[in-house]
Chains A and B, each alone.
Chain A
Amino acid sequence: MILIHCPYCDQTLPELEFAYAGEGHIARPTDPSALSDEDWERYLFIRDNPRGRHHERWRHIHGCGRFFNAVRDTVTDKFEMTYKAGEPRQ
């Protein structure tokens, strides 16, 4: 089983307590009505989907409940690091 470090609990815990929550660091546009349909589509649906190093959100849903960010390699499934929500992209 994959073990994931929760930066809030400061514990390394089984994946079963966590939920994946999509690509990280995607900021909601501050004024959605000013966006073109194409830009809105890009915000809602278009993701980088890289092979390798991926910044993504996880939630410790069956634990402390918090969202946080992680860097995971999409080839090896190895977690490079996790850090608290709001901290700069690593």
Chain B
Amino acid sequence: MADAAIRTAPVPAEPARFDGVTISLGLPLARWSLRGRNPQELGNALGLPVPGRIGETAGGMACLGPDEWLLRLPEGSIIPMGEGQPLSVVDISDRAITLIVEGDRALDVLSSGCPRDLSKLAVGEARRTVYETVEIVLIREGETRYAVEVWRSFAPWLHLALVTAASHLPE
């Protein structure tokens, strides 16, 4: 049956383009939720750099909490699973999708529904937060490019909310 499984995207494949901002579906990714008491230990087990401060990112890995990381790598990537060690390495690749919000007005669109002061989010910073009522992980990938990680089942609603915000931007 697995061979017959087809991945369907919960939002339109066609980017939604507006004056100053484009909202599009990101490429499928391999994702892991990583838990451990000690970043050093986790780094040694995975052979990857582990950011130590909440909000920091390094090589596709974002530190979300004092003992929690999100690792995003190209689809098909494989990492050690940390067997026998006091770590949790869980494949969550298909739990979320990425929406890319990009353009000069991207910050305005995201700020319309996020209670944080996003003007303080630095390039390369990642934070779990909310947009309207939906939990997201927001990663500022570039000066005007943001990746929004959202759980698959929330994605159609979030996409609609972002598109609605983008179509009502004040001049």
Contact partners of B115 in chain A: CB under 8 A: 1, 13-17
Stretch at the interface among B41-49, B99-107, B127-135, B155-163: B127-135
Q: Cβ of B39 < 8 Å from any Cβ of A?
A: no
Query: Does B54 lie at the interface of the complex (its beta carbon under 8 Å from any beta carbon of A)?
Result: yes
Q: Is B37 an interface residue (CB 8 A)?
A: no
Interface residues of A in 56-89 (CB under 8 A from B): 60, 62-66
* A13, A14, A62: residue with the most chain B Cβ atoms closer than 10 Å: A62
CB-CB under 8 A from A60, the residues of chain B are 65
Chain B interface, number of residues (Cβ within 8 angstroms): 13
Q: Is B91 an interface residue (CB 8 A)?
A: no
A35 interface residue (CB < 8 Å to B): no
Whether B129 contacts A9 by the Cβ 8 Å rule is no
With A63-B127, A64-B65, A65-B68 in contact, is A9–B55 under 8 Å at CB?
yes
The number of chain A residues with a CB under 8 A from chain B is 14
Give bound CA distance, A3 to B142, whole Å.
28
Whether A65 touches B116, Cβ cut-off 8 Å, given contacts A8-B54, A8-B66, A9-B55, is no
Residue B64 interfacial (CB < 8 Å): yes
**A14 partner residues in chain B, CB cutoff 8 A:** 115-116
Closest B residue to A14 by beta carbon equals B115
Contacts of A1 in B (CB 8 A): 115
Question: Considering the chains assembled together, what is the distance between the CA atoms of A38 and B66 in angstroms?
Answer: 38
A63 and B68 in contact (CB under 8 A), knowing A9-B54, A17-B115?
Answer: no
List 5 tightest A-B contacts by C-beta distance, closest first: A14-B115, A64-B65, A65-B65, A16-B115, A62-B130
10 A-B pairs within 8 Å (CB atoms) are namely A8-B65, A13-B115, A14-B116, A16-B130, A17-B115, A62-B129, A62-B130, A62-B135, A64-B128, A66-B66
